[in-house]
Amino acid sequence: MVVLSVPAEVTVILLDIEGTTTPIAFVKDILFPYIKENVKEYLQTHWEEEECQEDVGLLRRQAEEDSHLEGAVPIPAVSDNGAADLQQVIQAVVDNVCWQMSLDRKTTALKQLQGHIWRAAFTAGRMKAEFFEDVVPAVRKWREAGMKVYIYSSGSVEAQKLLFGHSTEGDILELFDGHFDTKIGHKVESESYRKIADSIGCSTNNILFLTDVTLEASAAEEADVHVAVVVRPGNAGLTDDEKTYYSLITSFSELDLPASP
Ligand SMILES: CSCCC(=O)C(=O)COP(=O)(O)O
Ligand SMILES: [Mg+2]
């Protein structure tokens, strides 16, 4: 087995979800289709609730920012014209969500609504999150060795907690010291990693970030975070240059932690 030695200064392991802890297929074939199949009914049922109105407000503001993009779908405000008008607005929200999802956008607005739509499915046990088999044993081992383990995903913190709280391995939320999402900044921006280090109370070079996306690895590295790119079945291929440049792992078990002092 190829082993990657974790530098001695690393005390925190920061994990991406999709393509790192969890198969892309679970996200693309189960989580995302659930949104497309349920978003309209969800909006119709929850429209009057404050949380739903906040979600729609965020999506509307995002739609305004996106208005220059090809295919962008505006979300009008509801006027006083009655039910027919409301149905048009709901349809615009549905179309906007589907348009964003067709581009696999990672906007905070989209991710927040998605988390709220998944909530019922996870809490009722209709959906259970999947992890690669090496994930849970490795995280337990890291923690026993004194490492802190955090999650940083484009999925909202609320959605992350649903995932780790309702998985095929049971409720494993307690294995994580904390969660970050795009509210701290986007994963392809190096400033996000500096803010994460600040929030944890460590230096960026105390963190090892594991991700499948080289743009994210590059942003983290620019902030002086250690990175390894995770190669999993179903992940996007890497170029030869990327394969040469980055430390690659195919399983968390390939990480060799420094011996405790
Ligand atoms: C609770 S994560 C759901 C998956 C998701 O919505 C997503 O965008 C995953 O992005 P990641 O940053 O984990 O690759
Ligand atoms: Mg990922």
Is 18 annotated for ligand binding? yes
Report the atom number in ligand 1 closest to the C-alpha of 114: 6
Is there an atom of ligand 1 within 6 Å of 159 CB? Answer: yes
The answer to whether the beta carbons of residues 115 and 156 sit under 8 Å apart is yes
Is 218 annotated for ligand binding? no
pLDDT tops 80 at residue 91: yes
Report the atom number in ligand 1 closest to the C-alpha of 156: 1
pLDDT at 78: 83
Best substitution site from 15, 154, 160, 196 to test ligand 1's pocket, by max atoms within 8 Å of Cβ?
154
User: Looking at the whole model, is its pTM more than 0.90?
Assistant: yes
Is 79 annotated for ligand binding? no
pLDDT tens digits, residue range 221-244?
999 999 999 999 999 999 999 999
pLDDT at 79: 79
Alpha helix segments (H runs only) across 127-189: 135-144, 157-165
Work out the pLDDT band at 96, boundaries 50, 70, 90: very high
pLDDT tens digits, residue range 5-30?
999 999 999 999 999 999 999 999 99
Report the atom number in ligand 1 closest to the C-alpha of 160: 1
151/68 Cα distance (integer angstroms): 33
pLDDT tops 90 at residue 94: yes
pLDDT at 104: 95
Average pLDDT (135-148) is 97
- On average, the pLDDT of the chain sits at 96
Neighbouring CB atoms inside 10 A of 228's CB total: 21
The token pair at 228 is 């390894």
Is there an atom of ligand 1 within 6 Å of 163 CB? Answer: yes
Collect contacts of 65-73 with beta carbons under 8 A, ≥24 apart: 71/99, 72/99, 73/99
35/91 Cα distance (integer angstroms): 14
pLDDT at 245: 98
Best substitution site from 153, 161, 163, 183 to test ligand 1's pocket, by max atoms within 8 Å of Cβ?
153
Is there an atom of ligand 1 within 6 Å of 117 CB? Answer: no
Is there an atom of ligand 1 within 6 Å of 112 CB? Answer: no
Average pLDDT (157-168) is 98
pLDDT tops 70 at residue 261: no
Which residues, listed in sequence order, are joined to residue 249 by a DSSP beta bridge? 230
pLDDT at 81: 67
Average pLDDT (109-127) is 96
